[in-house]
Amino acid sequence: MEYFIIPLAVVLLVIIISCLKVVPQGTEYVIEFLGKYRATWGAGLHFLIPFLERISKKITLKEQVLDSPPQPVITKDNVTMQIDTVVYFRIYDAKLYAYGAVNPISALENLTATTLRNLVGELELDGTLTSRDTINGKMTAILDEATDQWGIKVGRVELKNIIPPAEIQNAMEKQMKAERDRRETLLQAEGHKAAAITRAEGDKQAMILAAEGERDARIARAEGEAKAIFLAKKAEADGLRALREAGADAAVLELKKYEALVQMANGRASKIIVPTDAVETAKRDVMFSEISGLGDTTPPAKDAPKAKKSDPCCD
């Protein structure tokens, strides 16, 4: 009898140990009792009733990535493109995930492809290339709502690649090159315009500075000439004042007048208007009258009359 008890105890011990289950963190186990859902085990140590309970599914709660292969998509303007998407999701309800769909991952992949075709089919080529954020947002909302019954939470959807046909790519490259050439031409034109404006402003400033310099020079010359004339007149006035203060007589003053007249007459194209008092004074001075001829009132001698020739034909 003892030979049977010891092996039986060992078998029971092995069965009990095998029924002790440890669920790791971030994982849940779906437990069925006689083929029917019984419970969902979270992280920790659990005991499984032997022969009556079994682990139906081991489900991870971590975020997962579904990288779909490129899908042919036709745009509104009949351009076929290859687009592949990346879906980030996690399982929030193990029971719904285990019993909501036969293969939830495959269902999510197919739903992603059909949703992408529907959204891109409403857009043209340019709109598809420039509306990635809009497409991502709409797909995230649609997939998240559709997968709630599968216990899946869709975090975000990203368009990984958009590959248009080769001829479209060549046309886009030519368009991009033309656009860059246009921008280069505009930049060069704006540069030439700015340079011309700068040169014109420089010439304007130079002309203004030159005019101001010429004006200042003229003012300085005029002030110098006025100062020179002022000093000359002042010197002349000082000389006359000195003569008066020295007690010069009328003869010396008359001599100064004569010297002034001589200086005024020193020129080939000079016209002199002599005042009456100066003429009268000059007439009274014999020597000056003889030199200049101003006091000579004797009329010049007339020419002798010529002898009249006889006319032989009339005599």
Encode pLDDT of 83-131 as tens digits.
Answer: 889 999 999 888 889 888 888 999 999 999 999 999 888 888 888 888 8
Mean residue pLDDT of the chain comes to 79
Counting residues of the chain whose pLDDT is more than 70, the rounded percentage is 76
CATH of domain 64-164: 3.30.479.30
Which carries the bigger pLDDT value, residue 85 or residue 6? 85
In the predicted structure, residue 60 carries a pLDDT above the cut 80: yes
For residue 252, what pLDDT is reported?
Answer: 61
pTM reported for the whole predicted model: 0.53
For residue 3, what pLDDT is reported?
Answer: 67
Which segment of 228-232, 247-251, 297-301 scores lowest on mean pLDDT? 297-301
In the predicted structure, residue 71 carries a pLDDT above the cut 90: no
For residue 315, what pLDDT is reported?
Answer: 45
Assign 288 a pLDDT band (cuts: 50, 70, 90). very low
In the predicted structure, residue 171 carries a pLDDT above the cut 70: yes
**What is the Cα–Cα distance from 278 to 295, expressed in whole angstroms?**
11
For residue 53, what pLDDT is reported?
Answer: 84
**What is the Cα–Cα distance from 192 to 197, expressed in whole angstroms?**
9
Which carries the bigger pLDDT value, residue 262 or residue 299? 262
In the predicted structure, residue 267 carries a pLDDT above the cut 70: no
Domain ranges of the chain: 2-60, 64-164, 175-241, 249-292
In the predicted structure, residue 301 carries a pLDDT above the cut 70: no
For residue 68, what pLDDT is reported?
Answer: 84
Q: What angle do the packed helices 132-146 and 104-120 form, to 10 degrees?
A: 140
The CA–CA distances, whole Å, from 65 to 60, 86, 88, 108, 206 equal 13, 7, 5, 11, 71
For residue 176, what pLDDT is reported?
Answer: 81
How large is the C-alpha radius of gyration of the chain?
A: 63
- Measured at the CA of 67, the angle between CA 62 and CA 73, to 5 degrees, comes to 140
